[in-house]
Chain A
């Protein structure tokens, strides 16, 4: 039986982790994630989980310890944000290269300099090439659901990869919203017992983790790692199917909203997608066929499916809450690549919004949809990459 609660995104993720009851958890504070691991630490202190915590002295050590623990053979979690994720960067590659299914909620926050503690996607986007699976979440409910599903995806015997569950800092992590919790036992049954794969603590079969591989085989190892990523999509969909049976909540590799017959569309991640949906409804009421695509699985990126979903649209704006200075926004780059093979492509533009927690308002969505509407009629894109909600 589902339980309806009003909790923050951080609390929801912490609760998901409690329900899963992992073996080991690396804990280090960073705004806006802090509150999540703090809650988890109190679950440990109150004996609500069997987890052993490692109260590390940095995020780098947190990820290092998580890698050691996961290689040892067991279920491992941690969480971070922003500079913490950046400090982990080196170790993120090692976690995925060693094929260790560590589960990590990432409470998205801007990167320094200047110092900023608010929500944007620069942190996780900076980690997009680290070989981690990335699931993105619009709200606390999705963050909770994704966290639970992440275990099944990452620990799948064909996959064995670490998973980041991304949620917007403050906007979701610190907002109380209505959501539904599954029962503890339901979650435990859904996730299942941890299955070992090449555990280091198998003392009778000594293994060496982390060899030096030179020009002879490194290329092959990385090719093999890519191959694993190609299998992720199907696993994500299978897990989502099972999750729907359990929760009634449907997940795909992305969500579309009124996109099927849309002339114009916005592609946008996380919490801003919700705000955009409300504005799309307003435009539909005015007779403008607007729609939305919200990626859930960003790594691996489902290129073919995204192209298929957008191919009939006349004009698409990809909105990035992160920048690649001197390049297009990271989400834009993926969507543009996805659309490139199409013979008839939508017109495409890129807007960077909401950096460092700048509010994304309905008026911003309206501005973009209005521009898209004009483009769909004129067939002309004036400025391909632009910043919105920025003061001149």
Chain B
């Protein structure tokens, strides 16, 4: 792992994007790592575009400002691709993880991604609907990010999803989210 991995999440209010960033931070805590997860706050409510961030590092994280040059950009809602510049500040080797039904090649073309930039897609909304009947793509996106970054093992992540969701939801929803996370991990497509 690089010394610090910085992730920027793009989503809309109500899609569980902030929760995803939090679960990821918690899961990355193991092995003495330092983590941060923080959303950008405004008065916006459900539906409004929002950003959240993660930093994961092997040494103490002192930086307290938004991620400006993300190693990973995660887009939880593909419709955002048309409305905001999700590639802002991206580095030569930034990886994009996009929730979309489209083919990664199509997305790569749309983003005009560079040769070292990875473009990964996953149909997270469909997975979420399949697994627990709600269009909450955050858990499959977590699985996808886990696969792309290799920050933690999928088993470890699933444990954390169980722990985090267990506080608020019924067993059925927890099981659905576990399944969705696993499928997100497995069904990523790169191109």
Report the stretch among B34-42, B102-110, B133-141 that lies at the interface. Answer: B34-42
Q: A5-B29, A6-B26, A117-B41 are in contact. Are A177 and B65 (CB under 8 A)?
A: no
Cβ of B48 < 8 Å from any Cβ of A? Answer: no
Instruction: Say yes or no: B65 contacts A178, CB within 8 Å.
Output: no
Residues of A near B33 (CB, < 8 A) are 178
**Separation of A34 and B29 alpha carbons in the complex (Å):** 26
Chain B residue, CB-CB nearest to A273: B62
Number of chain B residues whose Cβ lies closer than 8 Å to a Cβ of chain A: 23
Instruction: Say yes or no: A170 contacts B41, CB within 8 Å.
Output: yes
**Separation of A392 and B114 alpha carbons in the complex (Å):** 35
Minimum Cβ distance to chain B for residue A82 (Å): 14
Cβ of A201 < 8 Å from any Cβ of B? Answer: no
Cβ of A283 < 8 Å from any Cβ of B? Answer: no
Cβ of B112 < 8 Å from any Cβ of A? Answer: no
Cβ of B129 < 8 Å from any Cβ of A? Answer: no
Cβ of B13 < 8 Å from any Cβ of A? Answer: no
**Separation of A34 and B66 alpha carbons in the complex (Å):** 23
Instruction: Say yes or no: B39 contacts A171, CB within 8 Å.
Output: no
Cβ of B63 < 8 Å from any Cβ of A? Answer: yes
**Separation of A19 and B65 alpha carbons in the complex (Å):** 30
Residues of chain A from 250 to 289 with CB closer than 8 A to chain B in the complex: 271-275, 277-278
Cβ of B182 < 8 Å from any Cβ of A? Answer: no
Cβ of A175 < 8 Å from any Cβ of B? Answer: yes
**Separation of A168 and B64 alpha carbons in the complex (Å):** 10
Cβ of B61 < 8 Å from any Cβ of A? Answer: yes
Count chain A CB atoms within 10 A of each CB in B34, B65, B66 and give the residue with the most: B65
Report the stretch among A56-64, A338-346, A358-366 that lies at the interface. Answer: A358-366
Interface size class on chain A is: 20 to 34
Cβ of B10 < 8 Å from any Cβ of A? Answer: no
**Separation of A14 and B38 alpha carbons in the complex (Å):** 18
Residues of A near B111 (CB, < 8 A) are none
Instruction: Say yes or no: B25 contacts A176, CB within 8 Å.
Output: yes
Instruction: Say yes or no: B37 contacts A175, CB within 8 Å.
Output: yes
Cβ of B22 < 8 Å from any Cβ of A? Answer: yes
Residues of B near A118 (CB, < 8 A) are 41
Cβ of A4 < 8 Å from any Cβ of B? Answer: yes
Instruction: Say yes or no: B37 contacts A176, CB within 8 Å.
Output: yes
**Separation of A176 and B62 alpha carbons in the complex (Å):** 13
Chain B residue, CB-CB nearest to A141: B60
Residues of B near A172 (CB, < 8 A) are 64
Cβ of A139 < 8 Å from any Cβ of B? Answer: yes
Instruction: Say yes or no: A278 contacts B63, CB within 8 Å.
Output: yes
Chain A residue, CB-CB nearest to B30: A4
Cβ of A93 < 8 Å from any Cβ of B? Answer: no
Residues of A near B43 (CB, < 8 A) are 117
**Separation of A171 and B21 alpha carbons in the complex (Å):** 15
Cβ of A174 < 8 Å from any Cβ of B? Answer: yes
Instruction: Say yes or no: A4 contacts B65, CB within 8 Å.
Output: no
Q: Which 5 A-B pairs have the closest CB atoms?
A: A274-B62, A175-B38, A271-B64, A176-B37, A6-B26
B residues contacting A by CB (< 8 A) are 21-22, 25-26, 28-29, 32-39, 41, 43, 61-66, 68
A residues contacting B by CB (< 8 A) are 4-6, 32, 117-118, 138-139, 168, 170-172, 174-178, 271-275, 277-278, 359-362
Q: A174-B41, A176-B36, A278-B62 are in contact. List 5 more A-B contacts (CB 8 A).
A: A118-B41, A170-B38, A176-B25, A274-B61, A359-B65
